[in-house]
Amino acid sequence: MRFLALLLLSYVILALPARGQQVSIELGKSPVPINQYYTISIKLQNQPLKDYTPFPDIEGFKKSSKFSSTKTIITGGTTTTILTITQNYAALEEGTYELKPFTMKVNGQTVQSAGMQLKVLPMTANSPQGINLPNLIAPQAPDPVAEAQPEFIEKEDNAFLTLYTSKKEVFVGEGVTASLYFYLAEEDQRLLDFYDFANQMSDIIQQLKQPNAWEERFDFAEITPENVTIKGVPYLRFKLYEAVLYPLNSEPLHFPALTLKMIKYKVAKNPNLVAEDRQEGFKTFYAREKVVPVRELPPHPLRDMVPVGDYSLHERLSGKSVQVGKSVTYQFQIAGEGNLAAIMPPVPTPPPGLDFYPPDVRQDVTRRSGRVLGSKTFSYTVLPREPGSYQMRKALQWIYFNPATARYDTLHPTLALRVTGVQDDDALVLSRDLGTFYNIIENEDDTLVSLHLFDQVKQYANIILMVLLAVSAIVFLKK
């Protein structure tokens, strides 16, 4: 029996790691107004995104932008990360449509969706969203392409490559969005095509990396064109790269001049149905060099430690009135726009009579429309030892620098905790709620387990393998 128990334990141990990684598909809600997006999302738990197949096409809908969000939960020292990639779909007209069952392959794993019926309703009131267009038009310097055949002619194209930054100057720690766009006039779609795109973009991304900045990059496996209008001319805009950069020191962010080689077609002077009407050539597009100066933060005792961004405070107490020796949970949530990864837990300075324990941490990050938004929540367990009224602002505060106002600011709690009862020093040891893990301790087996248990499992496994190998050899020799 002991041998079978050890063997079963070894199988359970080997199976545990596979349960931590999960991939799923999440469909948006229906019905949806025609002026709002329908969404399909893939969710990955505790694993990075390596690759995934394209999102499905939906009849009656057009693919639009994509965005990603990351949720990080730290509870009792265990970290859970959920990455969500969302594809927006714009309905072409009102009506009822069918999203057929489909499969996607994410990180080599196939996930399925049963599909659903989609209903598109009339437009609802909604504020229009403007389009921020880059104002940098790069000079064009085409590579010479020799005409192999005289019947093909080269037409002028209306296209350009440009690097756009959301701000001309930033403070240390302030986020700036860098986006690389390729613009192509709709009427010139047949003149240009991408060439060796993966290798070229790999080189471009390496050139755009900033050694003195924290990078939050927007990953997208598909390059989906957007329809925009510049000075009355309709263009297709291809977003090739997008990231929010947070400078770590006062060194300027330097983006070198970039090049993108494209296939440029010559068109037949006298096209016919028999001969090819295009001839392939090449053209190189250029984006100008760009430098974003970085300013030092104003003088302050904590200048090198404070986070930078636009934040607000949200707080919650699990109970505003509690007895002496009974713990409560206090949530200190920092929400807004900035580098959430740089935010460390505020260190409490509790008044006499209160004990604060290290917090659980939860981080929610959304990367969308060139911005990184989210929240970071610190959940403190608070144990009162003496009766009285306690203001949370006397125990916690959080200082940060707001680049919009160019001033330091402090977030102060507003909640208060009322503690009733009589102080009981002997009850304090057992009063704190330590969680569900410790609630089952009375029902668990306290039998001592040998430190060499895993060595014994290995020995038994080796014996089994040797016996199987010997049996296989005997059968093989007899045959």
For residue 453, being part of any structural domain is answered with no
pLDDT value of position 123: 79
For residue 470, being part of any structural domain is answered with no
pLDDT value of position 362: 94
How many folded domains does the chain comprise?
A: 2
Where residue 15 falls among pLDDT bands split at 50, 70, 90?
very low
pLDDT value of position 478: 81
Cα atoms found within 13 Å of the Cα of residue 34, Cβ hemisphere only: 10
Mean pLDDT on 372-389: 93
Nearest 5°: CA angle at 69, between 67 and 72? 170
DSSP per residue over 157-213, as a string?
--EEEEEEES-S-EETT--EEEEEEEEEEGGGTTTEEE-SHHHHHHHHHHHH--TTE
What percent of the chain is modeled with pLDDT above 90?
A: 49
Where residue 334 falls among pLDDT bands split at 50, 70, 90?
very high
Mean pLDDT on 251-272: 87
Same-domain status, 146 and 284: yes
Task: Write the CB contacts of 253 (distance below 8 Å, at least 6 apart in sequence).
Answer: 170, 176, 178, 210, 212, 213, 245, 247, 291, 292, 294
For residue 245, being part of any structural domain is answered with yes
Mean pLDDT on 450-472: 84
Same-domain status, 182 and 318: no
Q: In 209-343, which residue ranges form alpha helices assigned H by DSSP? A: none
Same-domain status, 283 and 137: yes
pLDDT value of position 349: 92
For residue 237, being part of any structural domain is answered with yes
pLDDT per residue over 139-194, tens digit each?
444 444 333 344 778 888 899 999 999 999 999 999 999 999 999 999 888 899 99
For residue 150, being part of any structural domain is answered with yes
Q: What is the mean pLDDT of the chain?
A: 83
Same-domain status, 333 and 208: no
pLDDT value of position 337: 93
Angstrom distances, CA of residue 148 to CA of 137, 143, 145, 155: 31, 15, 9, 15
Q: In 172-320, which residue ranges form alpha helices assigned H by DSSP? A: 197-208
Same-domain status, 202 and 269: yes
Mean pLDDT on 399-409: 94
pLDDT value of position 135: 39
For residue 471, being part of any structural domain is answered with no
pLDDT value of position 277: 67
Where residue 288 falls among pLDDT bands split at 50, 70, 90?
very high
Where residue 339 falls among pLDDT bands split at 50, 70, 90?
very high
What percent of the chain is modeled with pLDDT above 70?
A: 83
Mean pLDDT on 88-110: 90
If phi > 0 it is left, if psi is from -120 to 50 it is alpha, else beta; for residue 249 that is beta
CATH of the domain at 403: 2.60.40
Same-domain status, 278 and 140: yes
Domain boundary among 296, 328, 355: 296
Domain boundary among 271, 296, 321: 296
Same-domain status, 231 and 361: no
Mean pLDDT on 326-334: 94
b (16+ CB within 10 A) / e for 375-388: bbbbbbbbbbbeee
pLDDT per residue over 194-230, tens digit each?
999 889 999 999 999 999 999 998 877 678 889 999 9
Question: What domain range includes position 289?
Answer: 133-296
Same-domain status, 284 and 361: no
CB-based contact 388:321 (threshold 8 Å) = no
Asked whether the predicted pLDDT for residue 450 surpasses 60, the reply is yes
Same-domain status, 182 and 279: yes
Q: Are strands 328-338 and 371-384 parallel, antiparallel or unpaired?
A: antiparallel
What residues pair up with 378 in beta bridges, in sequence order?
332, 361
For residue 119, what is the enclosing H or E element?
strand 116-121
Mean pLDDT on 327-343: 93
pLDDT value of position 47: 86
Where residue 413 falls among pLDDT bands split at 50, 70, 90?
very high
Same-domain status, 372 and 261: no
pLDDT value of position 424: 60
pLDDT value of position 271: 61
pLDDT value of position 434: 55
For residue 370, being part of any structural domain is answered with yes
Same-domain status, 183 and 272: yes
**Per the confidence metrics, is the pTM higher than 0.85?**
no
Same-domain status, 138 and 277: yes
For residue 399, being part of any structural domain is answered with yes
Task: Write the CB contacts of 349 (distance below 8 Å, at least 6 apart in sequence).
Answer: 394, 395, 396
Examine residue 142 and say whether the peptide bond preceding it is cis (omega within 30 degrees of 0). Answer: no
Mean pLDDT on 77-102: 88
Rounded Cα gap, residues 359 and 351, in angstroms: 18
pLDDT higher at 241 or 72: 241
